[in-house]
Chain A
Amino acid sequence: MVKTLSRRSLIRGASALTAGGVLDLTLVNLAFGQGGAQPDFTFAYISDSHIQHVKGTKFVRNWDRGLKRAVAECNLLNPKPDFVVFGGDLAQLGKKEELDHGLELLSPLRYDVKYVLGEHDYYLDLGEYWADKISPHYYSWDHKGVHFITLNSIVTHDEWTNKWSSGEERMGVMAGLDDPRGSPFMVGAAQRQWLANDLAKIPKSTPVVVFSHSPLQKIFKNWNFWTDDAEEVQALLAPFDKVTVIYGHVHQIQYNQIGNISFHSVMATAWPWPYPESYSQAENYLPVITVPMNRADPFHERDATGWQFIDVQTGNLAINYSLPDNSPRRVAFNPETGMPEDSEFETRSIPPQKHF
């Protein structure tokens, strides 16, 4: 806790050196065991930049700015994170121009970057360029006693994927969050089998951290805040003592606890999305323990984009959301209740905006 606060003050001091001082990233501080064998470490998280090509060398300035600021300020972190995760949707329409430009904006990062595939990166060419230039679609690795897994959670039924006249048409439909012609995301049977094999090699006491683009839980089907085979994936993770899933896609703060699995979303660098309850015509399952993020002034470009740093004590995460135009939030796992909580926010005099 003390370490976390001092880290935050360091970051704030660093951010004051930059224009605007907005950090659209997540710093994860892992602290397993009290005096245990594994050292603490941190990693940062940047997600959902939606780099959007206009024409020629012109890209949407607003979205560029969000990513540029995150990268610049990530480089100022002290202590340095061990690596950075990019949480998916680097591009808006999966174009090579967008992915290339996004990589260029990410290139100043002085750290190793791990990539998660988002639907906006995938549905133009089914991730071919991504696999060629950026990263495998799913993989796992170990780091200082933690088993990390990156899943491609945004595939869907083959019959849907193959029914379009062109990749552009398919990408255009899937890029519309509310487009009724879309299709639910899923991890899929082949990748679930890979996951089962991967997990079979890991002792059940090993902390497992899973990165996915879509939530590996079902929240709101209308906007694909949803993974169709979430229960099957959760069942594979259930035997482990401590599991945390971090996902992007939703552009808002969400957290949940299902059995042994803690779920946390990360913020977008591009733009915020309303909570599902803001759409009055469809049912949603926002986790009841989630206290919605409040919204700053929508006239600010970086409204409700933000950065977070997260520490994990004895294998459970605590996420500190630093929101440039909102009050900071801290969502921490409470061992007594066994779920993530935001104990401070509820005691504040500022009520969360209800998104009426």
Chain B
Amino acid sequence: MAKSKFAAVAASIVGAWAFSASADEFTEEDLALWQAEYMAAVDVGRGVFTDPALGTNGVVCAQCHPNGSNIHPETYPKFQKQLGQVVPLWVMINWCIRNPLEGEELAADDPRMIALLAYITHERRGVALEPGKH
């Protein structure tokens, strides 16, 4: 019984090896899946960006940043005067959550923070990177 189970697992490994593409090739299916995953994160991010429950006072990100504008994800990391140091965008997002939204900070790997970063960056797609710029 144990032997046959091992054989089945071994067969599936061999099968996966046999049918997977070479390491330097993406399939159309892969690309479609990854794009769908990315756009799902963007869509969740738009929801968080317009969610009155992200803070405590009902103010939403989009109120001051329609279409994610004037956030400039392409300029991070950069020095922020009031924080006194060079920070990545998620740190600045937390500043906004704390202050205008009067809310609690999100962890860097909080799914809502990741979704916010996806949405904000997506709205700025095609713009050249200019890290550090003010």
Identify the A interface with B (CB < 8 A).
Answer: 52-54, 58, 60-62, 176-178, 222-223, 271-274, 278-282, 297, 299, 355-356
Contacts and interface: CB of A to CB of B under 8 A. Distances in A.
Given A62-B100, A280-B124, A299-B81, A274 B70 contact: yes
B82 A274 contact: no
- Residue among B65, B67, B127 facing the most chain A CB atoms (10 A cut-off): B67
A60 B72 CA distance: 26
Given A279-B123, A280-B126, A297-B82, A274 B69 contact: yes
A178 B59 CA distance: 15
B30 to A, nearest CB: 27
Interface in B34-80: 50, 56-59, 62-70, 72, 75
B127 A176 contact: no
16 contacts: A52-B58, A52-B59, A177-B62, A223-B66, A271-B64, A273-B66, A274-B65, A278-B69, A278-B70, A279-B66, A279-B68, A279-B69, A282-B67, A299-B82, A355-B70, A356-B133
Contacts of B125: 280-281
B104 interface: no
A303 to B, nearest CB: 10
A274 B70 CA distance: 6
A274 B66 CA distance: 8
Contacts of A53: 58
A61 B56 CA distance: 12
Summarize B's interface: helix, strand, loop or mixed: loop
A178 B46 CA distance: 11
A60 B59 contact: yes
A299 B100 CA distance: 10
A62 B127 CA distance: 32
B43 to A, nearest CB: 13
A18 B100 CA distance: 23
B118 to A, nearest CB: 15
Contact of B57 (A54, A223, A272, A278): A54
Nearest to B122: A281
Contacts of A54: 56-58
Contacts of A61: 57
- Residue among B56, B70, B81, B100 facing the most chain A CB atoms (10 A cut-off): B70
Nearest to A295: B70
A282 B68 CA distance: 13
A274 B56 CA distance: 24
Nearest to B127: A280
A272 B63 CA distance: 10
Nearest to A50: B63
Given A279-B123, A280-B127, 4 more contacts: A54-B58, A274-B66, A278-B69, A279-B66
B58 A279 contact: no
A279 B81 CA distance: 24
A278 B123 CA distance: 10
Contacts of A356: 72, 75, 130, 133
A281 B62 contact: no
Contact of A52 (B56, B57, B72, B126): B57
B127 to A, nearest CB: 5
Contact of B81 (A223, A297, A355): A297
Nearest to B95: A299
A278 B68 CA distance: 9
B88 to A, nearest CB: 17
A274 B72 CA distance: 11
B47 to A, nearest CB: 12
Contacts of A278: 69-70
Nearest to A175: B63
Contacts of A58: 57
